[in-house]
Structure 1
Amino acid sequence: MTIPTVDHGDVETACPAWCTGEFHQAGGHRVDITHTSPETELTVPTATGPAVLLRLTLEQRPFTEREPGRDVFVSVELDGDHYACDPGQMDDIARGMAECATTVRSLARRLAILKETGR
């Protein structure tokens, strides 16, 4: 794929198989070239329809000099902020979500008892 940049002219780059081929900074600087996968939304059901808990996207910045570096990572969007995560950090998020699920189930049981007993 050829991407025009203001600082290095036309830049040739091979897209990973998972890349959508849509570059956020086409026509920008070479350092801004980013490979991204399709976004995965994790949702939960609510009374008014699904609500998005978080969004996940594979990402790679082949010319960056900044963190998280040039290796592929998962961009996790939580509460409007984006976090670059490696596999261990993704496991931590999954573990945290499992702990949150336990808390939600516990509160659901408590609510059921309160409704049943009227107190």
Structure 2
Amino acid sequence: MMWNTTDDGSFWLAVDGRLYLTFSSTVKAGNAKDLCSQFPGFRLGVFSALESMAALKEFYDRDGTQVSVDLSTSNVWGDGVRYDQTKSLYDRTFVSNYNYVMLDGTLTHKGRREDVRLLCQADLANAEHP
């Protein structure tokens, strides 16, 4: 993982070949997806592949804070892959009407009004547009 830190936050190229952007301040979980989409080419993090799960774990191990992820209340990642069709490093319990965050080695739910860290993702190698 290669890190670069700015006054507002950090960005890095992770083991999954994606570029990640995070900020030191927190945001409301319900606003995370919209906030990431304000940065051209970025989306709220999707972790439907093992390599991306490893990048999420590496970030969590380094940073230790809870971060919002793009896993919908209908059990689908932001890229359209159903959670039960992915190979996940994390256990989780499905709860409706919540946003999901990575916390203490598990994907867990957070209320839309609760504070979380923003973790935005861009797939530059595959030129995917969120």
TM range (shorter): under 0.3
Give the TM-score, by structure 1 length.
0.26
Q: Which has the higher helix share?
A: 1
RCO higher in 1 or 2 (8 Å CA, sep ≥ 6)? 2
Give the TM-score, by structure 2 length.
0.25
Instruction: Flag the structure with larger Rg.
Output: 1
